[in-house]
A = this chain, B = another copy of it.
Amino acid sequence: VTAFQWPVRVYYEDTDAGGVVYHTSYIRFLERARTEWLRALGYTQSKLNDEQHLLFSVVSLAMQYHSPARLDDLLNVGLTAHVSGGASVTFRQTIVRQADDVTLASGEVRVACLDSVTFKPRRLPEDLRKEFV
């Protein structure tokens, strides 16, 4: 289990005519944090694909929306990573507004490790598995 946080600013592109952040934008924010967590560990997805034909693919997700984020809000997207089997990782993630530390949304995202050519499940690389636990 590792903990990681990534800041996200809300722009117009993330909002909708309800005046708040559009419900799928939060899910994009979750992925940015997962991507930056990988990068902080020394992995970039484009290299993993180019060099090892390894792709991460979202298998399932669950989101709970507690309170809306708004234009110009600065958010913290947090995650903990939990290996579930040899070929997938489950991320527990939260989106917190920095100004008052209120949790606006929380989610659980299961990501499978796939071969980018065959799209078949692939065992997570050992050096990556070590980082997860």
- Could you list which residues of chain A lie within 8 angstroms of chain B, going by C-beta atoms? 9, 11-13, 15-20, 22-24, 27-28, 31-32, 35-36, 39, 44-47, 55, 57-65, 68, 70-72, 116, 119
Residues of B within 8 A of A45 (CB): 12, 71-72
Q: Quick check: B27 and A23 within 8 Å, CB to CB?
A: yes
A130–B59 CA distance with the chains assembled, in angstroms: 36
A113–B32 CA distance with the chains assembled, in angstroms: 30
Closest chain-B Cβ to A46's Cβ sits at a distance in Å of: 4
Closest chain-B Cβ to A35's Cβ sits at a distance in Å of: 6
Closest chain-B Cβ to A62's Cβ sits at a distance in Å of: 4
Which residue of chain B lies nearest to A44 when distances are taken between CB atoms in the complex? B72
Which residue of chain B lies nearest to A39 when distances are taken between CB atoms in the complex? B72
**A13 in complex: contacting residue of B22, B57, B70, B116, CB < 8 Å:** B22
Residues of B within 8 A of A46 (CB): 17, 70-72
A31–B71 CA distance with the chains assembled, in angstroms: 13
A55–B39 CA distance with the chains assembled, in angstroms: 31
A27–B65 CA distance with the chains assembled, in angstroms: 14
**A11 in complex: contacting residue of B31, B60, B61, B62, CB < 8 Å:** B31
